[in-house]
Amino acid sequence: MSTQNSMKDVYLQHDALGLAALVKRGDVSAAELMEVAIQIVDELNPTLNAVSQRCYDDARERAQAPIGEGVFAGVPFLLKDLATTASGLQSTNSSRYYRLHSTAPASDNEAVRRMRTAGLIPFGFTNVPENGWSLTTEPKLNGPTRNPWNTALTAGGSSGGAGSAVASGMVPLAEGSDGAGSIRMPAAMCGTVGLKPSRGRASIAPAADFWHGGAVFLCLSRTTRDTAAFLDVVSGGTPGEPYALPKPATSYLSVLETPPARLRCGFSVRSPEGSAVDPEIARAVHSVAAELGTLGHHVEPHDMRFDIQGCWQAYTRILAVQAALQFEESTKLLGVAPTPETLEPYTWSAIEMGKRVDAVGHARDIDAMRHGGMAIAASLDAFDVFVSPVMRRLPFPIGSAFDMSVGDWQAYNDAFLKDTAFLFPFNVGGQPSISLPLGISADGLPIGVQLTAKVGNEAVLLQIASLLEKSMPWAAKRPLVFAHN
């Protein structure tokens, strides 16, 4: 390419698969794409604070090496700084404790290894809330990530850095993870595609489990096909992984070419927790339900019902025990224990809560979580797809919610439930669930609509998403802060 601006145009006009096709044809090089990605991050990050760590030298070296024929050959990529092991990058979970005492690993986890094999070239970590337990991204260590549609507003969490980076054009796709909405909520806030896969769909090796199957990972992207191709890359467990689902015989990318058979679709705008849903969000859900009817599918209203309070209390206590275990293991590994000075008050309160849960109580919570998952599945069993809001409200101001500086574990999680009521049920139940940018508010903010399928049925979600991407296109919608020339 003759100029940096023309290369920037190419970079912004293509999704990840499109960029990889250009690299494999020899039209552009991986090194050229990496320089553009670095330029955009350096231009926009002072405003958005989406990227918390950079590894430019390593990325430039890898971009100069032979790229191969992977599906994402030569595409710049950002990892999420939460439980991600990537050689040469210090994972901090946005915690002062890990920043001070952990070191960069010498090897990749299984997912990162697969990403690199597919041709993705990581060049940094995206920002997260400390230890990932927030639906906004405002860690004390790194400062808040801002929404490119309105920088006074949150980009969501915990994959807020990823959502902001993808929406603003820094990268076409970025890693995300989801234990209570942390892919889907930032996708909705930032106007991107965000799929939470089924429990066991993507390998988490060498880890054996995250949150008793509640936490999974995938990506945030701008197109359905990029998400499908990324799922192809990371799906399939290693031998012995709990919950592992077999890799499908047909690729997710190829199923996009075939529309699904007539589906039974339920839809709801009633929060199972009872909080009011913003009327603009409700209208967006009704619009999508109507569009599915126009596309030939059976659509009917249906409210999801289960013991949400009991399930949430059990799930959050389980996560508190997991936090206590995590930092006990980190203390053994690093030789230094965390203190209230090296952790934010909420994280410290979660550890203390986890230590107070006894063995019988923990077993009871796991049983309650599993029965909650069964009730959620039974409530939706009549439907192939369930359509709902992602969030009860539009993007909200930074500093207005999820205050991790207050160490009241119970009060924090009581407030949390209001915003995860449409989200965490599918972490507990294990269903695949996708946020699509199918609405826009009167103030020009994106509205995500959530579609959920039965466990293992990502293909149906992706087929429907592909149809909606054509009939209700979102590609032309750009935020205020975007990588223009």
List all residues 6 or more positions away from 57 whose beta carbon is below 8 Å from its beta carbon: none
The 3 state secondary structure assigned to the chain is: CCCHHHHHHHHHHCCHHHHHHHHHHCCCCHHHHHHHHHHHHHHHHHHHCCEEEECHHHHHHHHHCCCCCCCCCCCEEEEECCCCCCCCCCCCCCCHHHHHHCCCCCCCCHHHHHHHHCCCEEEEEECCCHHHCCCCCCCCCCCCCEECCEEEEECCCCCHHHHHHHHHCCCCEEEEEECCCCCHHHHHHHCCEEEECCCCCECCCCCCCCHHHCCEEEEEECCHHHHHHHHHHHECCCCCCCCCCCCCCCCHHHHCCCCCCCCEEEECCCCCCCCCCCHHHHHHHHHHHHHHHHCCCEEEECCCCCCHHHHHHHHHHHHHHHHHHHHHHHHHHHCCCCCCCCCCHHHHHHHHHHHHCCHHHHHHHHHHHHHHHHHHHHHCCCCCEEEEECCCCCCCECCCCCCCCCCCHHHHHHHHHHHHCCCCHHHHHCCCEEEEEEEECCCCCEEEEEEEECCCCHHHHHHHHHHHHHHCCCCCCCCCCCCCC
Structure tokens at 380: 């939706």
Geometric angle at alpha carbon 297, from 294 and 300, rounded to 5°: 95
Geometric angle at alpha carbon 92, from 118 and 402, rounded to 5°: 105
Q: Tell me the Cα Rg of the chain.
A: 21
- Name the residues annotated as catalytic: 80, 158, 182
